Structure 1
Amino acid sequence: MKVQGEWVDTSGLLTIGSFARLSWLSPRALRLYEQQGLLVPAIVDERTGYRWYRPGQLDTARLVARLRRLDMPLARITAIVTAGRAEAVALLDEYWTDEEYRVAARRELVSHLRIRLLGDEGSLHMYDIQVRDVPEQLVLTEQRHVRVQDLPQWIDESIARLLKAAAGHGEGLAGPCFIVYHGEVNEESDGPVEICLPITPDPAGPPEAASRIEPAHREAYTRITKAQVAFPQILSAYDAVAAWTDREPVTRLGSPREVYFADFAAAAPDELCCDIAQPIE
């Protein structure tokens, strides 16, 4: 066979049909992966476009086939295939952690939708409502009008700024971060939203960043998992707390909030990490 003007021996190579059967991939998939630079044929006939592969490429092809069965995007497959063993395992673990969170979040969304579709307030009883006393706190604060689609990025960036400010003040953090929703946040409404980071007062003086005193209060709250934090299913927890305050002889004070008492990024999908709370009188 002639390739780039030279005769090439194809003995010992596998035709695309044979390679497809042995690798559990279709010829169509092989052509796609060639375009992505993931599985490049050893030889391509310049006249007919026919392809041959080396037998040594089968291990990579079979790895690609198995990763595709996980519905893994090609970009992540490419990263795993081209990485060293330890890095490849880390990338696989990272992908599967993300997948488990997505599945858990979708499961919680189904529960949320069932509540909405059935209009069954009794199903809100799945949330255990507790009451606690919260002491007065000095908090670093940052507030912004933000839509729900932009909320996660702004929260991450704001908390990073507040943590940096807290590190340079006195003894630093004095409690879990909480996020106050002074108005509804969804596709049409933008809050505003206030992020608060409790810090220890410093006798040397007030913090350089914006701060305020969060008054002592009682609050009703329910504890939810990382998967339940996703929007819009988190709204069911808010509804459950609101329904409890409507039933009980209490008065709502101020705005509802989310209190993150655990490392959200490191938490497993079914791990409790957030309280939905409503100050009450």
Structure 2
Amino acid sequence: MIFREQAPSPEFSAVIERFWFFEPEAHDPESYEHIIVPEGTAGLCLIEPIPQIGAFISLTGPAATAVRVPIQRGLRYFGVRLCTGAVRAVLGLKAETLTNGMFYLLDAVPVLGAEMMAACCGASSLADFAGRFEAVGRRHVQPDQLDPAVCEVVRRIHSGDGFTPLAEIMAGFDVGERQLRRRFLKETGLTPKVYARLRRVRRACIDLAYGHSKQVAAVSYDHGYADQPHFTRELKAVFGLSPHQLMDYLHQIRLFNVEDVEHVRNLQARRNAAE
């Protein structure tokens, strides 16, 4: 399995987190169930070439647990991971209505779906796909639909890496904490607590799978979990797997230019330098 990412152009950096490409390799099973590490945001996936129909585009909403999807060898999967809080700005939809759901983009956003199908099918590479999608996106993205306060909460959660208390993250805004939490849920489809939890578990499991032969106890400590049993219970709740089962699966995926892997490595390097 190959998974590759690419950053959007600066023009789209406020609404698109990453473009990505996934493809099974010749030695992978003909069909299997793929486990997607939760991202806490919505995304689009173009699947091609599909016999008889050619292609289709799925819309996956934010979810509090890992999503499992069927994979077929011989197909290519191109994706767009939206920035958290950008559902309304990109799709014109309410994020709350997408939570824990999967939809056909043509049904959910017919015009965007049709234009994306026409423009993005047959892309020669991830860079080609990203360029085609951005050309379509210029006619649909509405940056003024982003909620600045929600975007700032998201930024603080990301920079805190699971160590900054949520009360501290939610402080210092012109609106009360209760109203800010409601706005966050409306724009992201998740509560701040659930989103912060997903960000931490995502970074931790990537560290577990792609770090330098780290043990479960070390990973749990480095990402702010009280102890190894706590971390193990968290992975069980999110993935339905033990740490070693998850690690065995993720090790089968070859990663290229994946932002979270680089972030974990940089974080570890800073910690090592501080010791």
Superposition TM-score tier, normalisation by shorter sequence? under 0.3
Q: What TM-score, normalized by structure 1, do the two folds share?
A: 0.19
Q: What TM-score, normalized by structure 2, do the two folds share?
A: 0.19
Between structure 1 and structure 2, the one with the greater Rg is: 1
Q: Which has the higher contact order (CA 8 A, sep 6+)?
A: 2
Name the structure where helix makes up a greater proportion of residues. 2
